[in-house]
Structures are given as C-alpha cells and as structure tokens.
Amino acid sequence: MAPGVDSVFGTVPQAAPVAVFQLTADFRADVDPRKVNLGVGAYRTDEGQPWVLPVVRKVEQMIAKDTSLNHEYLPILGLPEFRANSSRIALGEDSPAIQENRVGGVQSLGGTGALRIGAEFLRRWYNGTNNTATPVYISSPSWENHNSVFTDAGFKDIRTYRYWDGAKRGLDIQGFLEDLEKAPEFSIFILHACAHNPTGTDPTQEQWKQIAAVMKRRFLFPFFDSAYQGFASGSLDRDAWAVRFFVSEGFELFCAQSFSKNFGLYNERVGNLTVVAKDADNVQRTLSQMEKIVRTTWSNPPSQGARIVATTLTSPELFAEWKGNVKTMADRVLLMRAELRSRLEALGTPGTWNHITEQIGMFSFTGLNTKQVQYLIKEKHIYLMASGRINMCGVTTKNLDYVASSIHEAITKIQ
C-alpha cells in the first residue's frame, strides 16, 4: 500500500448505477400514493403485482415431492433435457437442424449468461483466433446490456445499425439494410428475435427475408437474442419465426434464450444458448470450447429453474397449461396497449398513437423526449426510462386514466 493511502481500494471510482434498477429504487422510495412504475422489465398483474405462473407453482410442488432428486452437480453444460427442449421450442418440433444432429445447447444464467458465453466464444474462435477486431453490430437503440456484454468479452469495435425511425415511430428498414450492406464481411449482428427491446417494433416476415438475404450474401453472423418467445404475440411459433427462417436458409447461428419473462422465473436465472452449426462435428467441437468457458465462469449451472422448465416442456399436459399461462400475460399486454392508445386519442393528445398498438411485447417506445420523461417522474410520479420506453405491464385498469392524462399533460406542457 502506498504511503498516505488508507485502503488498497482507495482509488476505485464510484460506478454509475444501473439505470433501470435505480429507477425502481427511486419508485420504492416515493411516498406519493399516485406513483406508477413503468420502468421495471417484469410482468405485473392488473393489481400491479408479480405473478407466479400457476403451472410453475404446480411443477415446484412436483419437484419438492420427488425424493429421487438430489443436489449433485449438473454437467458443466447443464441439464440435458432442459438444453434439448429449450432448443426444440426455439427451432420447432420438426426442425431439420435438430433431426440432423447439428444443434446444441448450453444452459446459462439467464439470457445475459447465454449472450456472454456466446460472445466469449466468438471472440476466442470466430473469424480467426482471439480476433477482438471483428465488428459487432447492435441496433440503435437496443437493450443497454448488449453493448456491455460484448465490450467486456473483449470486442474492440462495437458499432450500431439503424433500426428506429423516430419521425415515423417505426422500423427504419432502409437504413437497416444499408448498414448490413456496408458492414465488413464476417461482422456479428445482434438481432432481437421478437419484441425488440426497447422499441417493441419488429421487422415483418418479408423484411426478415430481406435482412437474411443481405446477411447471407455478405457472410454476416446472426446472433439472436430471444427473451420474449410466446410473451410477445401469445404464440411460441410466431415469435420464433425469424430464428427458424434463418435456420431454414442455411445459416450457422447462435440464439440466446431467456425464460425470465415467459416462465416468470426472473430470479432463477434460467437461460440457454442454442447453437446451430453446419453439421454434428462442428457442434460438438463448439460445445467442447464452450464447456471450457463455462468451467471458469460459473463452473456449472443451478438446477431448480432448469428442472421447472424441462418438466413443463416434456409433459404435453403441463406444456399446454404453460402456453395458456403465457397467452394470459400476452393478452393483458395487448389489452393495455389498446386501452392506452384509445385514451390518448380520445384526449386529443398531440401526435399519432397507432404505434402503441403496432408495437409488440412488454415494452412500448412512446416517443416522449427526456424533458417530458422528467416531468412525468418529478410532477406525476410516473417512473419510466429516459428513452421514453414504458413497460406496458405497469399499466393497469386502475391507473390507465391517470397514466394517459399525465402523458397528455407532459406532451402539451413540455416541448
């Protein structure tokens, strides 16, 4: 320790708080009875409460009563039946890639863990060995962790591709395609499988076909992030369409899956990295290297959440019940979108509001600017991200009128 320095940690700077968690802390500290939290990225019931899916409650009881289970270590790559069935719902029951044994999975700590294992592998083994200069493209805007995960994995050239058109409040497909065309060959593109975070705006199937055509011609690597399968539209198959189309076009790809939203298993950290390769040999060698990465990251994963998901996905009765639970959540979000839009339009709120119902999934990109966001937080006690992103699950039949009138007030008072 240097003379005069009280601690070896004395020069460590204070890091900025993670925005969404700070927003939740501010909300909790607020004593105003009108307060509304539209920031948190988790499902809420119409009473504003977390929801444990009924099928999850049922399976938890089954696991608790199963005396054959123990607490031995899982394999490094995770629970085999969890990995296999996670990849199956991503790629489809009749996926040729699965039938040809060229699909593998890595159980991970949530979707973030899947992204990190995938990023670490790509830095070590993709486009050469330890090539930190491979460009990684992330949509503008995107979930803030995408940038951090790939930066922390060692990539030095993080770029953005055009995605959101603020003027028309929709997808900038022309800019997206132009950026794909200009990207150096073998660049990595992070693609949102469905329910784009934060915009809630997805390409149409025809637009996905255009995107895939350019990526195939330019030798670009697709890394899908699938955090909302089933939750976005209420249909597992519809929400996985883009991933399955890319596989059908012959792409080798990664798909990071999270079961936080569609199973409500937020704190169990249940994720899977699906790997689709050219053949079985390529999959096995890739998984062998991922096993090395996992060994020094979390060594092997926890079992509880993976058992819940695997048990549900392998039982026809439980699987059907789960799909019903997921549709319950998706339908509530769709209803709140329709109700919020109708109220804003009835109030004559300046601007167009069709994007509220055209967007999909948990989040809506409202178009509110930072001053209007601050007004809502400070004056109306409505907490949302600085980008104007709101969690539609935070809107309920009880606060709907207040949220709509407050947004109307912010837009008419603050430019």
Convert 257-282 to b/e letters by CB count within 10 Å (16 or more is b): bbbbbbbbbbebbbbbbbbbbeeeee
Q: Given 179, 202, 261, 353, which residue is catalytic? A: 261
State the sign of the Cα–Cα–Cα–Cα dihedral 217, 164, 274, 73: positive
The DSSP line for 325-391 is HHHHHHHHHHHHHHHHHHHHHHTT-SS--HHHHHS-SSEEE----HHHHHHHHHHH-EE--TTSEEE
Asked if residue 86 lies in contact with residue 243, where contact means CB atoms within 8 angstroms, the answer is no
In this structure, what token pair is assigned to residue 116? 């990190």
Q: Nearest-CA neighbor of 210 among 246, 169, 251, 236? A: 246
Q: Nearest-CA neighbor of 164 among 172, 155, 174? A: 172
Q: Given 51, 143, 322, 353, which residue is catalytic? A: 143
What is the enclosing helix (H) or strand (E) of 273? strand 270-276
Sequence-separated (6 or more) residues with CB below 8 Å from residue 246: 212, 222, 224, 253
For the question of residue 225 being annotated catalytic, the response is: yes
Residue whose pair of structure tokens reads 């998901």 in the numeric block: 309
Cβ atoms within 10 Å, residue 47: 9
Q: Given 172, 202, 225, 239, which residue is catalytic? A: 225
For the question of residue 261 being annotated catalytic, the response is: yes
In this structure, what token pair is assigned to residue 163? 């995605």
Asked if residue 232 lies in contact with residue 195, where contact means CB atoms within 8 angstroms, the answer is yes
Q: Using DSSP bridges, classify how beta strands 164-165 and 363-365 pair: parallel, antiparallel or unpaired.
A: unpaired
Q: Nearest-CA neighbor of 321 among 312, 330, 329? A: 312
Query: Which residues carry out catalysis?
Result: 143, 225, 261
